[in-house]
Amino acid sequence: MLQGKTALVTGSTSGIGLGIAKALAKQGANIVLNGFGDAEGPKAEIAELGVKVAYHGADMSKASEIEAMMKFAADTFGRVDILVNNAGIQHVAKIEDFPIERWDAIIAINLSSAFHATRLALPAMKAANWGRIINVASIHGLVGSAEKSAYVAAKHGVVGLTKVTALENATTGVTCNAICPGWVLTPLVQKQVDAKAVAMGLSNEEAKKQLLQEKEPSMQFTTPEELGELAVFFCSAAGNNVRGVAWNMDGGWTAQ
Ligand code: NAD
């Protein structure tokens, strides 16, 4: 379905980003990976799916590095047809204790990076009259949780940016939508499970159960594979007129 298209997924060396990159690769899209840590393993996993894969290690907190990454993608594959703004970090603390440096980093990586990558991707998408921008927001783009001020502010911002991007391009073949996962068991959430286990004297399994019980009626984690399939839907012809939605996959979190 996506043969000949190129997808750039930020923060795709791990977790949800890698899951989405694999789902798009299975549909035939060439992939540009980004993120920290080991890139060779993820590159090999994508190459096994029979598509071309490249990697750029831009730090998504830096506009100049995002510009270099977008140029690299265009130089390597001609153009970015599908942009998945996924890179993100978390920090948990009460507002009065929140480190200023963590606030700035979360706003830069979780929100401003999506603005930069989007503004740089749009001209070529508009020229081709086809493009998909998929912002990985969160259920925290729709509701709040205590001790996550920067994350919730950034993710609400991402949902707002999604709507404006969709509106500004509404008469074109370029769509923009957000994905809002509840809990997904990635390294980002495992850190929160570990903190809960230590704070409450629980085993890893008990801490996971506790985490789900607080918010997610299904008592199940959403998987990167399920989120990947939603991204594939947004990229399909059936997604042509899906514009500006924030689609939750949250086990009923926000139905309560
Ligand atoms: P993860 O920690 O597994 O992956 C994060 C990715 O972002 C990694 O590839 C990491 O290297 C990359 N990254 C971090 N800082 C970066 C930077 N400065 N520059 C470039 N890359 C950077 O986390 P995840 O759970 O897969 O999270 C992916 C996205 O999904 C995030 O935006 C997160 O907020 C969102 N999300 C996660 C959950 C969840 O429960 N895990 C729920 C809702 C939304």
Q: Which two tokens stand for residue 20?
A: 């989405």
**Is residue 182 a contact partner of residue 249, using CB atoms and an 8 Å limit?**
yes
pLDDT digits (tens, 9 = 90+) for 230-253: 999 999 999 999 999 999 999 999
Q: Which helix (H) or strand (E) holds 187?
A: helix 187-200
Rounded distance from Cα 86 to ligand 1 centre (Å): 6
DSSP at 250: S
Can you tell me which atom of ligand 1 is nearest the CA of 155? 34
Rounded distance from Cα 112 to ligand 1 centre (Å): 14
- At residue 23, the pLDDT reads 98
- At residue 121, the pLDDT reads 98
Can you tell me which atom of ligand 1 is nearest the CA of 37? 11
- At residue 135, the pLDDT reads 99
Query: How many alpha carbons fall within 13 Å on the CB side of residue 34?
Result: 28
- Rounded to the nearest 10 degrees, how much is the dihedral formed by the CA atoms of 186, 17, 1, 3? -140
Rounded distance from Cα 18 to ligand 1 centre (Å): 10
pLDDT digits (tens, 9 = 90+) for 9-26: 999 999 999 999 999 999
List of domains in the chain: 6-184+222-255 (3.40.50.720), 185-221 (no CATH)
Q: Residue 153: how many CB atoms within 10 A of its CB? A: 18
Q: Which helix (H) or strand (E) holds 132?
A: strand 131-136
**Is residue 95 a contact partner of residue 149, using CB atoms and an 8 Å limit?**
yes
Q: Is the CB of 54 under 6 A from ligand 1?
A: no
Q: Which of 55, 77, 103, 151 is catalytic?
A: 151
Q: Which two tokens stand for residue 177?
A: 């939508």
Q: Is the CB of 184 under 6 A from ligand 1?
A: yes
Ranking 126-130, 149-153, 194-198 by mean pLDDT, the lowest is 194-198
- At residue 35, the pLDDT reads 98
Among all chains, which residue has been given the structure tokens 């903190």?
195
pLDDT digits (tens, 9 = 90+) for 136-186: 999 999 999 999 999 999 999 999 999 999 999 999 999 999 999 999 999
Q: Is the CB of 88 under 6 A from ligand 1?
A: yes
Among all chains, which residue has been given the structure tokens 């996962």?
181
**Is residue 192 a contact partner of residue 145, using CB atoms and an 8 Å limit?**
no
Mean pLDDT, residues 47-52 taken together: 98
Rounded distance from Cα 132 to ligand 1 centre (Å): 20
The best mutation among 36, 92, 111, 159 to test binding of ligand 1, ranked by most ligand atoms within 8 Å of the C-beta, falls on: 36
- At residue 63, the pLDDT reads 98
SS3 for 11-56, per residue?
Answer: CCCCHHHHHHHHHHHHCCCEEEEECCCCCHHHHHHHHCCCCCEEEE
Can you tell me which atom of ligand 1 is nearest the CA of 183? 40
Can you tell me which atom of ligand 1 is nearest the CA of 36? 11
CA geometry: angle at 102 spanning 97 and 103, to 5°? 80
Per the rule left: phi > 0, alpha: psi between -120 and 50, beta: everything else, 107 is alpha
- At residue 86, the pLDDT reads 98
- At residue 94, the pLDDT reads 98
* Residue whose CA is at the smallest distance from ligand 1 atom 21: 35
Q: What band does 101 get if pLDDT is binned at 50, 70 and 90? A: very high
Closest by CA to 111, choosing from 35, 10, 230, 19, is: 10
Mean of the per-residue pLDDT values of the chain? 97
3-state secondary structure of 178: strand
Q: Residue 50: how many CB atoms within 10 A of its CB? A: 9
CA distance 103 to 242: 32
Mean pLDDT, residues 190-209 taken together: 94
Rounded distance from Cα 128 to ligand 1 centre (Å): 30
Does residue 151 carry a catalytic annotation?
yes
Residues present in the chain in total:
256
Phi, psi of 50 (to 5 degrees): 85, 20
Q: Is the CB of 39 under 6 A from ligand 1?
A: no
CA distance 180 to 182: 7
